[in-house]
């Protein structure tokens, strides 16, 4: 295989990337690489609530629509991201002084608006993002604080009605190994399934460091698969202290390779999505000063060791 997507197709999985707003609009080299190498795309920011409805009642779907058009032109699946999150909410919502009943109606209308808009185009939705705290209990935040735990089941049910064919995921970070959060997630998902909540899959974000020993991911995914759920690696990246050097880049390749191997080892693992494919557009340096070089391609879009490791892991020879 000459591209990641050809190699992934031959193994029955999708390989993807988060897509940044700016270069999708105006960087031809970025677009060419994205179209050639990846079979699934996720909007890094363009479907988040703060982005799509900055002013109440005035939806701006321009970024999401651009991604949907790109994906259609390149035969790519879209993972929609994300409907219900405590972060990246518009100020009119968080400081609007709404009652719980009002917020519930606003959330329902938002889910309906997004899922209906992209029905038939977004195949998979991250319905709920990051609902858990590190100790495995429900994470305090805007929705839990205002609506209580019922917002979880409600959100999946509303999404299912709006598009019965979309796969509905819960997406979480730090649940890749045998952590307290992973155990809490398992308990939560078991309970949601027992209530008949329409949940189809679990996304494991997998934001890691070059020094991470990524053991336990396949085992964790298998546990969730036993609950009759799909699983996916949804936000893979591997950051390192800057400047990058050959040792760090080799360790980074190891971590990428382990993540891909884990997915290939679990029949219900559908896709591996990287959280940005080039170091030129990555959330890492802004959020972890002094860190970066987390992606498969460098700032000039040259393939790094991690790219070749992912490719050879996918091909298997
Ligand atoms: O584009 C606007 C710009 O117009 C404005 O002037 C500027 C002022 O703050 O903000 C810009 O938007 C920023 C956007 O990134 C694009 O750079 C947002 O403030 C900033 O909050 C946003 O950060 C994103 C973050 O989620 C919060 O939504 C990152 O791009 C994105 O990579 C990151 O992704 C998250 C996943 O959604 C969930 N899992 C963790 C992951 C990494 O944090």
- Per-residue model confidence (pLDDT) at position 44: 98
- Per-residue model confidence (pLDDT) at position 317: 73
From the CA of 173, give the closest atom in ligand 1: 39
**% the chain with pLDDT above 70:** 100
- Give nearest CA residue, ligand 1 atom 13: 45
- Per-residue model confidence (pLDDT) at position 1: 62
Average pLDDT, the chain: 97
Check pLDDT > 90 for residue 175: yes
- Give nearest CA residue, ligand 1 atom 15: 45
Separation of 99 CA from ligand 1 center, angstroms? 28
| Rounded alpha-carbon distances, angstroms, from residue 204 to 72, 176, 221 | 25, 6, 8
Check pLDDT > 70 for residue 30: yes
Binned at pLDDT 50, 70 and 90, residue 28 comes out as very high
Separation of 45 CA from ligand 1 center, angstroms? 6
Q: How many domains does the chain have?
A: 1
From the CA of 22, give the closest atom in ligand 1: 1
Task: Cite the active site residues.
Answer: 130, 235
- Per-residue model confidence (pLDDT) at position 230: 98
pTM, rounded to two decimals = 0.97
Check pLDDT > 70 for residue 59: yes
- Per-residue model confidence (pLDDT) at position 178: 85
Binned at pLDDT 50, 70 and 90, residue 265 comes out as very high
Nearest-angstrom CA–CA distance, 135 and 139: 9
pLDDT, tens digit (0-9, with 9 covering 90-100), for 218-257: 999 999 999 999 999 999 999 999 999 999 999 999 999 9
Q: Which domain holds residue 260?
A: 4-315
CA angle 285, 141, 46 (to 5 degrees): 50
Mention every residue, 6+ apart, whose C-beta is less than 8 A from residue 287: none
Cβ neighbours, 10 Å, residue 120? 9
Q: Measuring from each residue's beta carbon to the nearest atom of ligand 1, which residues come in under 6 Å?
A: 44-45, 48, 87-88, 129, 173, 205, 235, 283
Separation of 47 CA from ligand 1 center, angstroms? 11
- Per-residue model confidence (pLDDT) at position 279: 98
DSSP per-residue string spanning 155-180: HHHHHHHH-TTSEEEEEESS-SSS-H
Binned at pLDDT 50, 70 and 90, residue 142 comes out as very high
Separation of 157 CA from ligand 1 center, angstroms? 27
From the CA of 287, give the closest atom in ligand 1: 43
From 23, 43, 44, mutation site for ligand 1 pocket: most ligand atoms within 8 A of C-beta: 44
Separation of 85 CA from ligand 1 center, angstroms? 13
Binned at pLDDT 50, 70 and 90, residue 17 comes out as very high
Binned at pLDDT 50, 70 and 90, residue 210 comes out as very high
- Per-residue model confidence (pLDDT) at position 258: 98
CATH of the domain at 145: 3.20.20.80
Binned at pLDDT 50, 70 and 90, residue 123 comes out as very high
Residue with tokens 């940005």: 276
Check pLDDT > 80 for residue 39: yes
Give the mean pLDDT of 30-52: 98
The β-bridge relationship of strands 230-241 and 291-292 is: antiparallel
Nearest-angstrom CA–CA distance, 290 and 288: 6
């Amino acid at each position: 295989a000459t591209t990641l997507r050809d190699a992934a197709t031959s193994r029955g999985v999708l390989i993807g990337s988060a897509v940044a707003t700016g270069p999708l609009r105006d960087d031809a080299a970025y677009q060419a690489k994205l179209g050639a190498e990846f079979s699934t795309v996720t909007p890094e920011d363009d479907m988040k609530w703060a982005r799509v409805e900055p002013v109440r009642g005035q939806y701006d779907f321009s970024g999401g629509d651009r991604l949907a058009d790109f994906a259609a032109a390149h035969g790519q699946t879209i993972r929609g991201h994300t409907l219900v999150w405590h972060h990246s909410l518009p100020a009119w919502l968080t400081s609007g002084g709404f009652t719980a009943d009002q917020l519930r109606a606003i959330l329902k209308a938002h889910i309906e608006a997004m899922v209906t808009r992209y029905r038939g185009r977004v195949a998979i939705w991250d319905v709920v993002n990051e609902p858990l705290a590190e100790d495995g209990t429900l994470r305090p935040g805007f929705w839990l604080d205002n609506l209580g735990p019922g917002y979880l089941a409600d959100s999946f049910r509303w999404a299912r009605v709006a598009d019965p064919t979309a796969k509905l995921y819960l997406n979480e970070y730090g649940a890749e190994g045998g952590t307290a959060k992973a155990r809490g997630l398992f308990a939560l998902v078991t309970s949601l399934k027992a209530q008949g909540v329409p949940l189809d899959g679990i996304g494991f974000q997998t934001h890691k460091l070059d020094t991470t020993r990524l053991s336990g991911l396949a085992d964790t995914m298998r546990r969730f698969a036993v609950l009759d759920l799909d699983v996916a690696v949804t936000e893979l990246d591997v950051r390192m202290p800057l400047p990058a050097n050959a040792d760090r880049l080799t360790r980074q390749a190891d971590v990428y390779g382990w993540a891909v191997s884990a997915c290939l080892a679990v029949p219900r693992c559908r896709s591996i999505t990287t959280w940005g494919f080039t170091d030129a557009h990555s959330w890492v340096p802004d959020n972890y000063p002094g860190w970066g070089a987390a992606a498969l391609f460098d700032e000039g879009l040259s393939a790094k060791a991690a790219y070749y490791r992912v490719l050879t892991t996918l091909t298997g020879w």
